[in-house]
Amino acid sequence: MATEKKTDGELLAEKLLMKKKHAGLIMSDEEIKEAFDYCERYKSFISISKIEREAVVNTVIEAEKKGFVPFDPDRQYKPGDKVYSINRGKAVIFAVIGSEPVSEGLNIAAAHIDSPRLDLKQNPLFENEENAYFKTHYYGGIKKYQWGTIPLALHGAIVKKDGTVVNVTVGEDEGDPVFCVTDLLPHLAQEQMKRTPAELLKGEELNILIGSLPFRDDKAAEKVKLAIIKLLNEKYDIDEGDLLSAELDAVPAGRAKDVGFDRSYIGAYGHDDKVCSYTAFSALMDLKGIPERTAVVVLTDKEETGSDGNTGLKSSYLKYFVEDLADSCGSKGHRVLSKSRCLSADVNAGFDPTFPDVLEKRNCAFMNYGVCITKFTGARGKSGTSDASAEFVAEVRRIMDEGNVIWQTGELGKVDLGGGGTVAAYIANLDVDTIDIGTPVLCMHAPFELVSKLDVYQTYKAFCAFLK
Ligand code: MN
Ligand code: MN
């Protein structure tokens, strides 16, 4: 077959214009298989790490197997040493000391391990018409109507007055019961359907049904509530007052699933932001040899409620860690921070062909087009963004291309349509060069979110390239 000669225009376009392609058309068969295999590791992690406390426990278990030990600020560290530092059981920092002095700066990847959910109120247990319920206060930005009529599991901890911590997980094992927020049948929903979607299920209607059998005693009041607290007492050795000092979260029950005949997507609760947390964390675990710059992975809490609180990244815990690390290496914390660079790792909105109008197609993330890099976030006139410098973007482009990472750029939504922020600004405020990066997601903040396996793998590769 005769090959037609390319025209000048075609040659010039090849030379000067950017080309975008589906990762499935770029990756080799072998690499696609690697991606699918890697995603099995991720699916296992996300299925058992639904809340921040569990993500901390599960990452620390894996890290200890790889030789990580608790960070001791009074010790001197040498290249190749591996340490971790837990913040109140809800955030954790992992670090591998590099061959360059710490004073030359750190490579930091930061992601969050909390996800939107229904938290129990402090005084949650009540009975209404012989059903027992837990009152909830939703955590993070959710479409409340999505959380009715789905199986919910309960995760968290109850802390008794003497400090005993009782860990709770109900609804995940095959034989476990689950819980449910009830909704109205369509036949009787005429009035409900006139409500605005934000109020289809109102905040105070997100009550979780937890039982209906009474304690058999004619004289006792609220017999169903009594029977439930009796069960809780038998199982956890607690009374109603102990629920005052508890953090119990209702999350969608069940494990991560492959989605699609071709199994190209993973459906799960909490991809935002376990997908970036796990890819960053596992890249650090899989490091071969000693990295040049000290490599740090921060898994933080409270991003979904604005990063406030002592386990969120508006607090000083990362700064204190870096100061301690700098001290133990004979440097100054602020100097280390000024020379550090950070990938603020959080998911981005993937283009959904069913809802094309909310994204600007030249500047949004597409599913299966690789990890997404975002120079700035922010609402309206970039309000609240740290906006990475062009110099740092150029550096990140180089790192990604040298690591053969398939990557794209994208902004979350059209200008003035909404938007969202991440932890980037709080790390940049420590004088660290910071940019947003993350996996594109469909149905973000829904009980069942979707990511592409190829994108997950490219996100992992991005962290491997950055942290090495
Ligand atoms: Mn997020
Ligand atoms: Mn989020």
pLDDT at site 1 = 57
pLDDT at site 406 = 98
Q: What percent of the chain has pLDDT over 70?
A: 100
Superfamily classification of domain 117-252:
Aminopeptidase i, Domain 2 (2.30.250.10)
Q: What is the pLDDT of residues 383-393, one digit of tens each?
A: 888 899 999 99
**Which-ligand-closest: CA of 117?**
2
Q: What percent of the chain has pLDDT over 90?
A: 94
The CATH classification of domain 19-115+269-467, taken from the options 1.20.120.530, 3.40.630.10, 3.40.50.300, 3.90.180.10: 3.40.630.10
State the chain's mean pLDDT as an integer. 96
Distance 428 CA to ligand 2 centre (A): 19
Mark the residues whose beta carbon lies below 5 A from ion ligand 1: 272-273, 346
pLDDT at site 419 = 76
Distance 116 CA to ligand 2 centre (A): 7
Per-residue confidence at 2, pLDDT binned at 50, 70, 90? Answer: low
Q: Which of 122, 360, 334, 142 is nearest to 241 (CA)?
A: 122
pLDDT at site 450 = 98
Q: Give the DSSP per-residue string, 79-105.
A: TT-EEEEEETTTEEEEEE--SS-GGG-
Q: What is the pLDDT of residues 4-16, one digit of tens each?
A: 899 999 999 999 9
Distance 357 CA to ligand 2 centre (A): 21
Distance 316 CA to ligand 2 centre (A): 21
Residue 369 has pLDDT above 90, yes or no: yes
Distance 205 CA to ligand 2 centre (A): 23
Residue 155 has pLDDT above 90, yes or no: yes
Per-residue confidence at 378, pLDDT binned at 50, 70, 90? Answer: confident
Q: Locate the domains of the chain by residue range.
A: 19-115+269-467, 117-252
In order of 7, 15, 96, 460, 468, the CA distances from 285 in angstroms are 49, 38, 9, 11, 11
Radius of gyration of the chain (CA): 24
Average pLDDT (264-271) is: 98
In order of 46, 118, 206, 252, the CA distances from 179 in angstroms are 20, 12, 12, 9
Distance 81 CA to ligand 2 centre (A): 33
Average pLDDT (342-367) is: 96
**Which-ligand-closest: CA of 347?**
1
pLDDT at site 186 = 97
Distance 216 CA to ligand 1 centre (A): 47
Distance 192 CA to ligand 1 centre (A): 31
Query: What separation, in Å, do the N-terminal and C-terminal C-alpha atoms of the chain show?
Result: 46
pLDDT at site 253 = 98
**Per-residue DSSP letter, 2:** P
Residue 364 has pLDDT above 60, yes or no: yes
Per-residue confidence at 68, pLDDT binned at 50, 70, 90? Answer: very high
Distance 397 CA to ligand 2 centre (A): 25
Per-residue confidence at 329, pLDDT binned at 50, 70, 90? Answer: confident
Residue 287 has pLDDT above 70, yes or no: yes
